[in-house]
Amino acid sequence: MPNSPSPSLPASPTLAAAVALALAASLSGCIRIAGNDSATAASAPASGVVDAAQASAEAAASTASAAATVAMAAASAASAGSLLVATANGAMGPATNAQRAAGEQLSRQGAGATVPACSGCHGLRGEGNAAAGFPRLAGQSSAYLAHALASYGDDTRRNPVMQPIAKAMDAGQRQAAAAWFASLAPSAAPPATAMAAASSPAGDLKRGRQLADVGEAARNVAACASCHGPDGAGTSAAIPALSGQPAAFLVTALQAWRDGSRDSDPDHRMPAIAKGLDDIDVAAAAAYYASLPVPGQAWDARPAGSLPVTAPGPASAASR
């Protein structure tokens, strides 16, 4: 059995893209596919707002088990097509096909009496449900999705629907669900964005775009695009995509930041930003982001190099 995996070409384009990412990440030194390079894995650079020291510590702590997983994956690569997927910053460790398969099963069938099927609300491909206000999960990073589930679990994010579900999930189930949804391309979802654009007053969309691209300096509101990206697709694994999310979900999130029922931002920036928005601005920002097209790729399929370490400034946003 060779040391470096040579997976047979996977059938699905998503997997093919994931292979490409794993190979690209391997070349750039972000993560090694061979299981014997734990030093490199432990010192892999973290991007974005994820704390580099924490990421390194986590990587170091999980090196032994990760190395074992890597070795197993390499051993079974030729026969089973297992492959490693680097999350954008390496902080989550490799997602395995086994995790994604477990996540898919959880999504379709739930687990026991306490964890319902995610697909009932979030859709079979994580596309969400614009009419009901259930968020799209496809297109988000596994790091963000796992963090969101942890936040419901530890009460830093309160929601009557998701809290009981997240609390009933163990760490492995959360990681599996996160790995599954991060592997799905949002483009498979029926676009609700045209509907959102058509049903929103033009004034809202204009004001929303202004907040997104410029912010509101008088109230200390930074341009949303400086973190969420000029296209609203997120700029790091810690920053969620907002584009094409149901407007009602975005309004709920902004109101939760304002009233303090959500305090899940690791850097505690969103509460202050949302408190700088009045009701009209909340509606406007939500309408604007709901009207943007969903990200074109699964998070896992994004080329690592396309994720800026520092978020782009308003200048790049203004050129949209």
Rounded distance, CA 8 to CA 25, Å? 19
Of the CA atoms within 13 Å of residue 146, those in its CB half-sphere come to: 23
Sign (positive or negative) of CA dihedral 193, 196, 199, 202: negative
Site for ligand HEC contains 265 (CB under 6 A):
yes
Spatial CA neighbour of 238 closest among 174, 144, 307, 149: 144
Torsion of CA 70, 76, 8, 25, to 10 degrees: 0
Q: Build a one-symbol-per-residue string for 296-315: x at contacts with ligand HEC by CB under 6 A, - elsewhere.
A: --------------------
Q: How far is C-alpha 129 from the geometric centre of its chain's CA atoms? A: 17
* Binding residues among 103-132 for ligand HEC as defined by CB under 6 A: 106, 115-116, 118, 120-122
- Rounded to a whole number of angstroms, the minimum distance from the CB of residue 40 to ligand HEC is 27
Q: Which stretch binds ligand HEC (CB under 6 A): 35-43, 89-97, 157-165, 294-302?
A: 157-165
Site for ligand HEC contains 250 (CB under 6 A):
yes
- Rounded to a whole number of angstroms, the minimum distance from the CB of residue 97 to ligand HEC is 18
* Binding residues among 13-72 for ligand HEC as defined by CB under 6 A: 49
Are the beta carbons of 300 and 24 closer than 8 angstroms?
no
The only residue of 96, 252, 291, 297 in contact with ligand HEC, by rule CB under 6 A: 252
Rounded distance, CA 236 to CA 37, Å? 25
Are the beta carbons of 89 and 58 closer than 8 angstroms?
no
Binding site for ligand HEC (CB under 6 A): 49, 106, 115-116, 118, 120-122, 134-135, 137, 140, 145, 147-149, 151, 159, 161-162, 165, 177, 211, 221-222, 224, 226-228, 238-240, 242, 249-250, 252-254, 264-265, 269-270, 273, 285
